[in-house]
Amino acid sequence: MSQRHVLFLCTGNSSRSIMAEAILNHLAPNRFVAFSAGSQAAGQVKPQALQCLERNHMSTAGLRSKSWNEFSGPDAPGMDFVITVCDQAAAEVCPVWPGQPLTAHWGVQEPAQAGQSAEQSVKAYWNAFMTLHRRIAILLSLPLEKLDRLTLQSELQRIGQS
């Protein structure tokens, strides 16, 4: 079976979608290739997101904040799944993704809140990381090759509600 491509979307592509990309690429490098992007890419990854990944022994090499336009053109890799991880991106009108990927919303609370202490920030990033890790682990437990498209779509949506 060939690798499946997953695009994680968030508005700024600076924390949650970046962490999801790194987690999936770490947990299932032979089964999946994960990417991330944002509708209004911030242009840089939040240092706290990178620190959280590094504390969990995950590579941060090559992670960068990028526009979802990189994934909607004719030269972009075809996606099997497109998953939004923030409520704002889920509400936006997305580009038409080549290949008709399955889509789902896995809303995760924004870890970068103004006015938080350093301790609160570390906890917020840890919570976002753990939520994403748990949901990705559920995705990885699905017998993807045995599920029809409609069932798989339902399962993806169910994961986002867990």
CA distance 3 to 12: 26
Q: Single out the catalytic residue among 6, 7, 10, 19.
A: 10
Chain position carrying tokens 């960068």: 64
- Residue 95, classified by CB atoms within 10 Å of its CB into exposed (0-12), middle (13-18) or buried (19+), is middle
CA distance 146 to 144: 5
Residue 86 a catalytic site member: yes
List all residues 6 or more positions away from 48 whose beta carbon is below 8 Å from its beta carbon: 15, 111, 112, 121, 122, 125
Q: Single out the catalytic residue among 27, 94, 142, 147.
A: 94
Residue 94 a catalytic site member: yes
Q: Single out the catalytic residue among 6, 7, 79, 86.
A: 86
* DSSP secondary structure, 98-149, as one string: TT--EEEE-----S--TT--HHHHHHHHHHHHHHHHHHHHHHHHS-GGGS-H
Residues with catalytic function: 10, 86, 94
